[in-house]
């Protein structure tokens, strides 16, 4: 269902906005096994569980892609607004939603320089979100993209637009790139733990659901972050039929540099080649249709002793539910004797 709210600068509606976004991503690439997307600007939505290292991965990936000569725009779509923090040395940039509210109160228009900043050839901005309990994060995402439209989003000249989405929030706004064909492809970030793979599997399910409704977005692959070599994430990728684009090891040097807001996605770093290979893979990986797992299939990726996957469900009884009230009571039913 589209929202027909007439508040875009040109007098259009969000439905018009949807259509323009669809026009940029309307080529059905999701069944292609080999080849590269033909649209000049690749719009890629990156999903992952909160805390899995999505922002770390994206900050370094975008920096390396810029070093490779690509024009890259990084848009944080997580209400925590932490996507650009590592890129900007820990500094928080003003969010689009926050800036829009302040400018509106002052009777002023938002300008590019108010919300978009750059480092190392990367252009970056944060959509932001409402304070806890004061609004819907999903609607914040929608409002943020409306403002991007007003700022001329469709006239911008980029090779890649990377959208950083929180994967373990399932309301409509966070599913926007998949539900409305705003992106050509999705990249998942996960680790060798059940919860992050659960989130990755949910995103695969969303992609497949909207494919059945006529959508075109596919999954380009999985980035394994904090890889400890146990293999569950790689097994997941094989099971859902998507490629592993890169494995970023669980390493103390990476942990420290991330904690200190240091960029490692550069040729000057010993990790540069890893992110260079990831940058190449992201560019050429075609979007494919995933085969999401059911809950048992997901649990079976792990040793049953670690997950409890070998537990057998035991049905509860009426007496169980009554507890201390389980003493039998005389029936008030009238029983008629046979004549």
The number of beta carbons lying within 10 Å of the beta carbon of residue 273 is 11
CA distances from 144 to 98, 128, 257 (A): 10, 8, 31
Residue-wise DSSP of 56-85: HHHHHHHHHHHHTT--EEEEE--TT--TTT
Residue 103 phi, psi dihedral angles, 5° rounding: -65, -35
Active site residue 49: yes
Please check whether residue 204 is in contact with residue 31, taking contact to mean a CB–CB distance below 8 angstroms.
Answer: no
CA quadruple 40, 45, 51, 52: dihedral sign = negative
Catalytic residue among 18, 114, 164, 168: 168
**What distance in Å separates the CA atoms of residue 48 and residue 191, rounded to the nearest whole number?**
9
Catalytic residue among 16, 19, 28, 80: 80
Collect all residues with Cβ–Cβ distance below 8 Å to 187 and sequence separation of at least 6.
44, 45, 46, 47, 219, 220, 221, 222, 223, 245, 282, 285
Please check whether residue 70 is in contact with residue 40, taking contact to mean a CB–CB distance below 8 angstroms.
Answer: no
Active site residue 168: yes
Collect all residues with Cβ–Cβ distance below 8 Å to 267 and sequence separation of at least 6.
67, 276
Residue-wise DSSP of 99-147: HHHHHHHTT----HHHH-EEETTEEEEE---PPTTSS-HHHHHHHHHHH
Residue 323 phi, psi dihedral angles, 5° rounding: 55, -125
Active site residue 80: yes
* Token reading at 205: 């399910």
Catalytic residue among 18, 49, 82, 227: 49
Report, as residue numbers or ranges, the catalytic residues.
49, 54, 80, 168
């Amino acid at each position: 269902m589209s929202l027909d709210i007439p508040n875009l600068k040109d007098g259009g509606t969000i439905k018009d906005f949807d259509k323009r976004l669809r026009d940029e991503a309307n080529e059905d690439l999701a069944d292609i096994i080999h080849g590269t997307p033909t649209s000049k600007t690749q719009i890629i939505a990156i999903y992952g569980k909160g805390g899995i290292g999505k922002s770390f991965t994206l900050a370094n990936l975008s920096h390396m892609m810029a070093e490779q000569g690509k024009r890259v725009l990084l848009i944080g779509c997580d209400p925590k607004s932490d996507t650009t923090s590592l890129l900007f040395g820990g500094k928080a940039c003003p969010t689009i939603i926050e800036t829009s509210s302040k400018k509106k109160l002052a009777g002023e228009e938002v300008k590019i320089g108010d919300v978009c900043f750059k480092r190392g050839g990367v252009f970056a901005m944060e959509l932001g979100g409402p304070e806890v309990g004061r609004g819907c994060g999903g609607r914040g995402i929608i409002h943020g993209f409306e403002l991007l439209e007003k700022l001329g989003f469709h006239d911008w000249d980029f090779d890649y637009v990377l959208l950083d989405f929180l994967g373990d929030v399932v309301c409509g706004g966070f599913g926007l790139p998949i539900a409305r064909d705003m992106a050509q492809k999705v990249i998942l970030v996960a680790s060798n733990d059940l919860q992050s793979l659960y989130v990755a599997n949910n995103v695969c399910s969303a992609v497949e659901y909207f494919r059945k409704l006529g959508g075109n977005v596919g999954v380009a692959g999985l980035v394994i972050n904090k890889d400890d070599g146990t293999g569950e994430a790689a097994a997941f990728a094989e099971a859902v039929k998507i490629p592993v684009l890169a494995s970023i090891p669980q390493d103390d040097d990476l942990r420290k540099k991330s904690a200190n807001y240091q960029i490692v996605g550069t040729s000057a770093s010993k990790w540069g080649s890893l992110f260079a290979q990831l940058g190449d893979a992201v560019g050429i990986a075609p979007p494919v249709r995933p085969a999401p797992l059911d809950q048992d299939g997901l649990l079976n990726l792990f040793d049953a002793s670690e997950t409890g996957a070998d537990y057998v469900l035991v049905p509860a009884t009426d007496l169980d539910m009554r507890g201390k009230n389980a003493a039998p009571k005389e029936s008030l039913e009238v029983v008629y004797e046979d004549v």
